[in-house]
Amino acid sequence: MKKFVFILIGIILGIYLLTGIYVVGSEKMGVVTFFGRVVADRIPAGIHYAFPWPFTKVYTPAVAVVKRMSIGFKLVDQLQGIGPSRNESERLSGDSNVITVSIMVQYTVRDPGAYLFNAEDPDFLVRKAGEALLCEKVGMISVDDLLTVGKSEVEQYVRNGLQTFSDSVGAGLRIRSCSLQKVEPPLEVIESFNEVSRAKSNREKIINDAHTYRSEMLPKARAQAQQIVQSAQAVSAARVSKAEGDAARFEKIFSEYRKNPKILSQRLYWDTIEAVLAGARKIIVDDKPDDQGTNLHIISDTP
């Protein structure tokens, strides 16, 4: 009988010790506590052993799964088509306008031990810290910037702020991304806001068209101006050259005139007569008697 009792106790003890075997999944890490104190917090995937309860307790948080936290709306409500409440989504911009803003935060567990024991509810901390950071940053930016170039700035600010906050409280999280889901005016004023936005867009289009026209016409105008300048320079150079040639010719004639004025005068006279009569139709009338004749060597090469 005693032998049977010992065998039974051994079997029960063996079964009890076997309960210390545990499995860590592929997307998880194991954390083991011994009487409430963490003794191992980065146990990889696989089969492991720890002292059975109540000595130890094993946790296997998912560290590879990307968690998502909505700020400004609830994921369940969004899937069901339920809009967010004003308190959830409305923020005050830097130029004192009310605007609806929502953002999605994606994060993973970086330190499983810290995630489990350093904060009572790390996911709640992410939501509340994200709301505070979003309100703070939106309050620094105008509505126009929020709707255009300021989105990436808001996302980066919230992401960096959440990571800094998580590290400061030891929440063991890695903030992977923050993405704005909605940035728009409240429904009551959205139509008026859209009209203003369209007017601004038209204004920008007109300005851009004017810049484009200027960019197209300015090179043409410069080319035309350069062509006019070059033509003027060519005409000026030709006239200067002609004037210099005329001056040189005059100086040469004047020099010859000073040497023999009479001969040069006759030469100039006959040159002028030749130039005037060249190519012209000529009618010659002789008023002398027929027997005397007239010398026409002035109009013919034959004497």
What is the pLDDT, as a whole number, of residue 163? 94
What is the pLDDT, as a whole number, of residue 274? 73
Domains contained in the chain, number = 4
Distance between CA 106 and CA 175 in Å, rounded?
6
Same domain, 163 and 79: yes
pLDDT at 301 over 90: no
Has residue 284 been placed in a domain?
A: no
Contacts of 8 (CB under 8 A, 6+ apart): none
> pTM, whole model, 2 decimals?
0.55
User: Percent of the chain at pLDDT above 90?
Assistant: 9
Residue 187 DSSP label: G
Give the domain extent around 241: 229-279
Helical segments of the chain, H only: 2-18, 75-79, 86-89, 112-117, 122-138, 143-147, 151-169, 190-259, 261-277
Distance between CA 184 and CA 189 in Å, rounded?
10
215: helix, strand or coil: helix
Has residue 291 been placed in a domain?
A: no
What letters, b where the CB count within 10 A reaches 16 and e where it falls short, cover 41-56? bebebeebebebeeeb
Distance between CA 226 and CA 212 in Å, rounded?
22
What is the pLDDT, as a whole number, of residue 3? 74
Q: How confident is the model at residue 81 (pLDDT cuts 50, 70, 90)?
A: very low
261-276 confidence digits (pLDDT tens): 777 677 777 777 777 7
CATH of the domain at 165: 3.30.479.30
Has residue 293 been placed in a domain?
A: no
Q: Which of 48-62, 125-139, 156-170, 216-230 has the lowest mean pLDDT?
A: 48-62
Q: How confident is the model at residue 98 (pLDDT cuts 50, 70, 90)?
A: confident
Distance between CA 105 and CA 68 in Å, rounded?
6
Determine contact, residues 97/184, Cβ cutoff 8 Å: no
Same domain, 120 and 208: no
What is the pLDDT, as a whole number, of residue 189? 65
pLDDT at 178 over 70: yes
Same domain, 18 and 119: no
Determine contact, residues 99/91, Cβ cutoff 8 Å: yes
Same domain, 88 and 135: yes
Same domain, 14 and 90: no
What is the pLDDT, as a whole number, of residue 78? 43
| CA neighbor of 60 nearest in space, from 77, 48, 70, 73 | 48
114-170 confidence digits (pLDDT tens): 888 888 888 888 888 999 999 898 888 888 788 778 888 999 999 999 999 999 988
242 against 50, higher pLDDT: 242
Mean pLDDT calculated for residue range 88-113: 83
Contacts of 151 (CB under 8 A, 6+ apart): 180, 183
What is the pLDDT, as a whole number, of residue 24? 79
What is the pLDDT, as a whole number, of residue 13? 78
Same domain, 205 and 97: no
Same domain, 211 and 171: no
Q: Give the mean pLDDT of the chain.
A: 79
Has residue 175 been placed in a domain?
A: yes
Same domain, 34 and 93: no
Same domain, 81 and 101: yes
Same domain, 40 and 119: no
Residue 66 DSSP label: P
Determine contact, residues 123/69, Cβ cutoff 8 Å: yes
